[in-house]
Structure formats: C-alpha cells, structure tokens
C-alpha cells in the first residue's frame, strides 16, 4: 500500500469548488443554502459581492452569514481580492475548512485510490492500494476499501467518526438513488446493495456512483465544467463511460443507469463485451479490446500476456514506430470512437465534450481525422465542428469526483446546520 499526504494545499487560499451557476438557475434551495454554496464556489467573497450575486439585500446577507458563522460553517478573513489604504482592512467570507471532512474512493481493477477533502473542497491527504486479482467478491472489495480508508485517516490523524460522508465509485452499472450495484466488471456478484453494505462496514454515510459519473462530477466541481451549464464527458480506459451535465446538474436517467455509452450497440452480433452482450462500443475501444487485438500486431516472443498494460504500451510504441498492423488497430478504434461521439452529438448537442481517462495518452484515439469523422457523421455538418477537449487528471481524477459526490450529498445538511 502506498500512502501519501499533502499539507501544502490546505495552507493556500481557497480557490473555490462546486458548480458556478447564475442565481436565476439556483432553484429549489433555501437562501441560506445558496449563500453557503456561493461562498464555497467563490472560495472567497465579500458580503457586498455576495448580496449582488444573489440579488438580495445586504441586510438579508448579514443575517444569514451571521447564522452560518455561528454554526461554524463560514469564517471571516482578510479580503485578498480588495486592497484598502485606510481604515479597517476589507473582510471576506470563506468556508470553514474543518466544518466537515469527506472521503472520495475510486475502486479499480489494479489500484484503489482515496482522497480526503475538507468542507472547502481542498485535498488534505491521499492514499492508494495496489490490487492483484482481476475480479473479486464484494466482501473482499469492501475489506480492501476499509484498508485504504484507514490508512488515509491514520495519515491525516482522523477517525472514521470524523468523516461526514464517503463517496464511493467503481466501473459498471451503479444505481445512485438506491445504492444498488447492478453489475460491475470488478465483482463476481451482481445485484448487491453496495451502499448499505458499505455503510454497515464503515459506520459512515456512503454515496455510490459509477466511475464515469465520478469524472463528470470532478469536472463539474473542480475542473473545466464548473461554469458550464451543459457538457458531456466520455471516459476511455477499462471500459467506455459517459457523464452528462444539464443545467449545472449531473443527469443520471430515471433509474440512475443512463448514459451507458460504452454499451450502446455499434455492430449487431459483433465483438463480445465484458458485460456479456455483443457489439457494444467499448468492445472495440476499451483496454481489453485493444489487448485482444494486440497479439496480431506484436511479436509473440515479446508479448507479456499477463500484463495488459504492458501490451497496450508496446502496441502504442509499435504504432509510433511505424508498425502498420498496430496503426490499423488504433485507427479502427478511433473510427468507432468517432461513431460514438457523433451519436452523443446527435442525441444531446452538448457545447463541449471532454475526453478523459488513462487512454488519452494514446493520441490516435483523438487525432484530427477522428474528430473530422465525428463531425462528418453528425447531422448538422454546416455548423462549426463540435468542441472536444482532452483532460487527463492523473490517478486522483476519479477520487476527486468521489469526493465531489460526497460533498454534494451532505450539502443540504451542512448549509442547514444539520451536518
């Protein structure tokens, strides 16, 4: 197990986290909740600017801020955004960092990652646990999750009782609303009450979701999508996932099982997918699909069949070195990706598609010709090409999203003084 802790970010001025939405779109929350959310998203803001942003009187802001200060959810500090040469220094509001702590954990095939975040959204510690088995039972997975959680808390000097919520994510079909794990390529079982079992094991409130939604939440709370009302995220690594934000909110579908782009069908009776069906998009793009094809392009005497990551890297290096068979494999995967992205454009017409995940290191998958083909397959060819960006966060991308899931889960309770 590898555990690391970083204190540097906790000392810096808060940069803010969470969706930045116009006040006209902040519907359904109490004014005190909106005050708390606005301060957290700004990182640091004055009372006057807060009143202007929320379009309420300064007196109303003063009263609500007083309540949040008394609850220990906000704090006052010198306003670094305003300079004053006379009188008292200007005062700004920010979230009290130790008002609450959450943990985000991403479960994966080779490594579980965990991130500890304070109420202001600033990372305090991180931990990881290497895993050897390709598939495992849910009981074993929860045992491993407990190991990485306890290592994280030990480094931070905290106990499980100090944690307000754990955000937990994994690949597969996860029903966020009910907490049910319908299916995951990591697990040997299906249809298990993941959230309830995790809460029983850890004694802490838990929120669960699939890994593509975690990446989307990471973008919505910490990344490129904070100020965007609508955008889509497509992830490519062990599978192909998608997340969709509509009006600053993550859209999951009626049963929390929507946006399964990787399991849309691109060829009837086609390649076998890890979900058990045939012809799924990810069966032509994901890691296991590229590894399946790699044996046709690589010298068998140099292929380590027990190490898929090594095979993928060798395949990419061979393509870069001019191996035509390797190039054809990536070119074919890129064409299927173009088809999938064109379907996203035709269905949702998002202003931005963010490509993310470990496979973004393989530039063949998002080369110019892939994006041109995506545009050619889209209906509105006369419009400007769809905006597509890549964003590789690194190993903690998923854990950031899991932490955002936990923060969003407890937002109401914190703002209303129930957390």
Tell me the pLDDT tens digit for each residue of 87-107: 566 789 999 999 999 999 999
Helix or strand or coil: residue 268? Answer: coil
The CATH number of the domain covering residues in 2-96: 1.10.10.10
Sign of CA dihedral 270, 271, 277, 283: negative
Stretch 122-141: mean pLDDT: 92
pLDDT of residue 171: 92
Confidence of residue 414 (pLDDT cuts 50, 70, 90): confident
Stretch 230-238: mean pLDDT: 91
Stretch 366-388: mean pLDDT: 85
* Residue listed under structure tokens 């140099």: 302
Assess whether the region 2-96 and the region 99-218+396-415 belong to the same CATH fold: no
Stretch 106-113: mean pLDDT: 92
- Secondary element (H or E) of residue 240: strand 240-246
Q: Is 372 left (phi over 0), alpha (psi -120 to 50) or beta?
A: alpha
pLDDT of residue 384: 76
pLDDT of 2 over the 70 cut: no
Q: How far is CA 249 from CA 20, 24, 105, 138, in A?
A: 11, 14, 21, 30
pLDDT of residue 385: 76
Describe the crossing of helices 47-54 and 31-42 by its angle, rounded to 10 degrees. 120
User: What are the residues whose beta carbons fall under 8 Å from the beta carbon of 242, sequence distance 6 or more?
Assistant: 212, 232, 233, 234, 235, 259, 260, 261, 262, 344
Mean pLDDT of the chain: 87
pLDDT of residue 4: 40
pLDDT of residue 8: 31
The answer to whether the CB of 73 falls within 8 A of the CB of 86 is no
pLDDT of residue 335: 94
Among 204-208, 303-307, 322-326, 353-357, top mean pLDDT goes to: 204-208
Superfamily of domain 229-351+358-391: ATPase, nucleotide binding domain (3.30.420.40)
Tell me the pLDDT tens digit for each residue of 188-199: 999 999 999 999
pLDDT of residue 84: 54
Enumerate the β-bridge partners of residue 117: 102, 123
Sign of CA dihedral 289, 212, 304, 275: negative
Percentage of the chain beyond pLDDT 90 is 64
Q: How far is CA 89 from CA 62, 65, 75, in A?
A: 18, 19, 15
The residues spanned by each domain of the chain are 2-96, 99-218+396-415, 229-351+358-391
Spatial separation of the C-alpha atoms in residues 265 and 273, rounded to whole Å: 10
Sign of CA dihedral 188, 176, 107, 293: positive
**Over the range 283-310, which residues count as b (16 or more CB within 10 Å of their CB) and which as e?**
bbbbbbbbbbbbeebbeeeebeeeebee
Confidence of residue 303 (pLDDT cuts 50, 70, 90): low
pLDDT of residue 27: 60
Confidence of residue 85 (pLDDT cuts 50, 70, 90): low
In CATH, which of 3.30.420.40, 3.40.50.150, 3.90.105.10, 2.120.10.70 is domain 99-218+396-415?
3.30.420.40
pLDDT of 265 over the 70 cut: yes
pLDDT of residue 206: 98
What is the CA angle 173-129-257, rounded to 5? Answer: 10
Tell me the pLDDT tens digit for each residue of 160-190: 999 999 999 999 999 999 999 999 999 999 9
pLDDT of 31 over the 80 cut: yes
DSSP-based helix, strand, coil % in the chain, nearest 5: 45, 20, 35
Give one DSSP letter per residue of 137-203, joined into a string.
Answer: -HHHHHHHHHHHHHHHHHHHT--GGGEEEEEEEESSEEETTTTEEEE-TTBS--SB-HHHHHHHHHS
Percentage of the chain beyond pLDDT 70 is 89
Which pair of tokens denotes residue 219? 């973008």
């Amino acid at each position: 197990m590898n555990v690391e802790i970083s204190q540097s970010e906790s000392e810096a001025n808060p940069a803010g986290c969470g969706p930045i939405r116009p006040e006209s779109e902040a519907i359904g929350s109490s004014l005190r909740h909106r005050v708390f959310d606005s301060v957290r998203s700004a990182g640091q803001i004055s009372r006057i600017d807060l009143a202007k942003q929320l379009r309420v009187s300064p007196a109303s802001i003063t009263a609500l801020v007083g309540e949040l200060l008394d609850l220990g959810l906000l704090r006052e500090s010198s306003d670094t955004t305003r300079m004053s040469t006379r009188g008292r220094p200007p005062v700004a509001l920010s979230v009290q960092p130790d008002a609450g702590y959450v943990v985000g954990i991403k479960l994966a095939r080779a490594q579980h990652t965990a991130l500890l975040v304070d109420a202001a959204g600033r990372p305090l510690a991180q931990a990881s646990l290497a895993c050897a088995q390709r598939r495992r039972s849910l009981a074993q997975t929860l045992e491993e999750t407990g190991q990485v959680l306890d290592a994280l808390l030990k480094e931070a000097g905290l106990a499980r009782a100090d944690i307000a919520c754990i955000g937990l994510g994994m690949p597969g079909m996860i029903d966020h609303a009910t907490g049910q794990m319908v299916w995951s390529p990591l697990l040997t079982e299906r249809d298990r009450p993941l959230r309830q079992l995790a809460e029983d094991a850890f004694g802490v409130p838990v929120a669960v979701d699939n890994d593509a939604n975690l990446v989307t939440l990471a973008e919505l709370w910490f990344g490129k999508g904070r100020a965007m009302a609508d955008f889509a995220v497509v992830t490519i690594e062990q599978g192909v996932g998608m997340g969709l934000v509509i009006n600053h909110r993550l859209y999951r579908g009626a049963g929390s099982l929507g946006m399964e782009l990787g399991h849309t069908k691109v060829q009837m009776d086609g390649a076998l997918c890890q979900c058990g069906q045939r012809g799924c998009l990810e069966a032509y793009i994901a890691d296991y699909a590229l590894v399946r094809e790699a044996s046709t392009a690589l010298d068998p005497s140099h292929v380590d069949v027990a190490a898929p990551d090594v095979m993928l890297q060798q395949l990419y290096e061979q393509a870069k070195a001019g191996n035509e068979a390797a190039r054809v494999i990536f070119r074919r995967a890129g064409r299927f990706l173009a088809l999938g992205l064109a379907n996203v454009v035709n269905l949702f017409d998002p202003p931005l598609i963010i490509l993310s995940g470990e496979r973004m290191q393989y530039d063949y998958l998002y080369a110019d010709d892939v994006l041109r083909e995506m545009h050619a397959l889209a209906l509105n060819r006369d419009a400007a090409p769809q905006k597509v960006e890549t964003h590789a966060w690194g190993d903690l991308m998923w854990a950031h999203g899991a932490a955002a899931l936990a923060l969003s889960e407890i937002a109401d309770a914190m703002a209303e003084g129930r957390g």
